[in-house]
A and B are shown apart, each in its own frame.
Chain A
Amino acid sequence: MKKIILGLALAAITLAACNNKSTESKANKAVMYTNSDEKNLSPINELVNQYLQIKNGLANDNGTDAATAGKAFVESIAKVNTASFTTDQKKKWDDISADAKEMAEHIGANADKLEHQREHFEMLSQDIYDLVKTFGAGQVLYKDADTMYNKGKGAFWLSEIKEIKNPYMGKAMFDSGSIKEEIK
Chain B
Amino acid sequence: MRLIVKILLVLVIVFIAIQFIPTAKNTSLKESETDISNAVIVPKKVQTILKNACFDCHSNNTYYPWYSKIQPVRWMMDTHIKEGKAEINFSEFGNYSTRSQISKLKGLANSIKDNIMPLSSYRLMHKSANLSDVEKNLIITWALHTSDSLSVKK
A and B interact physically: yes
Chain A residues packing against B (C-beta within 8 Å):
95-96, 98-99, 102-103, 106, 115-116, 119-120, 122-123, 127
- In the complex, what distance in Å separates the CA atom of A106 from the CA atom of B107? 10
Q: Is B99 an interface residue (CB 8 A)?
A: yes
Chain B residues packing against A (C-beta within 8 Å):
97, 99-100, 102-103, 106-107, 110, 114, 116
Question: In the complex the two chains form, is A116's CB within 8 Å of B103's CB?
Answer: no
Knowing A123-B103, A123-B106 are in contact, say whether A116-B97 is a contact too (CB < 8 A): no
- In the complex, what distance in Å separates the CA atom of A123 from the CA atom of B103? 7
Contacts of A99 in B (CB 8 A): 97, 99-100, 103
Q: Which residue of B lies closest to A122 (CB)?
A: B106
Question: In the complex the two chains form, is A116's CB within 8 Å of B99's CB?
Answer: no
Contacts of A127 in B (CB 8 A): 99
Knowing A115-B114, A116-B114, A116-B116 are in contact, say whether A96-B99 is a contact too (CB < 8 A): yes
A-B contact count (CB 8 A): 29
Known: A115-B114, A119-B114. 5 other contacts (CB 8 A): A106-B107, A116-B110, A116-B116, A123-B103, A123-B106
Question: In the complex the two chains form, is A119's CB within 8 Å of B103's CB?
Answer: no
- In the complex, what distance in Å separates the CA atom of A136 from the CA atom of B99? 20
Contacts of A123 in B (CB 8 A): 102-103, 106-107
Question: In the complex the two chains form, is B99's CB within 8 Å of A103's CB?
Answer: no
Contacts of A98 in B (CB 8 A): 97, 100
Contacts of B116 in A (CB 8 A): 116
Tell me the minimal C-beta distance from A129 to chain B in angstroms: 12
Contacts of B99 in A (CB 8 A): 95-96, 99, 127
Contacts of B110 in A (CB 8 A): 116, 119
